[in-house]
Amino acid sequence: MSLLGLDRRAQHHVRYNLLHHRKDLAPGLVRISFGLYNTADEIDILCDALTAIASGAHQEYTVDTATGFYTPLHESEDFSVYYQM
């Protein structure tokens, strides 16, 4: 939590939200997986996307409060089948 600059009270608030299934309120949460099949172009796309998000220049999203999954509002394809738990 120190990387996010959160004080002790803010850390407890984040922990409370996570324990109560509000992953959408978790600050700075990113999960990335790479495989041998990923190309350099795909990694460049990821880096560009993270840079856009960090600078605030990202598109509008809807969020599932229980899972914390964000979906672009203008997304035409349903990717939810890839995220089934």
Over the stretch 6-46, which tens digit does the pLDDT of each residue have? 888 988 998 898 899 888 787 876 678 888 999 999 899 88
Amino acid letter, 24: D
Distance CA 60, CA 70 (A): 9
Over the stretch 42-58, which tens digit does the pLDDT of each residue have? 899 888 888 877 777 66
CA neighbours closer than 13 Å in the CB half-sphere of residue 44: 3
Q: Domains of the chain: which residue ranges?
A: 2-83
For residues 71 and 61, the answer to whether their CB atoms sit within 8 Å is: yes
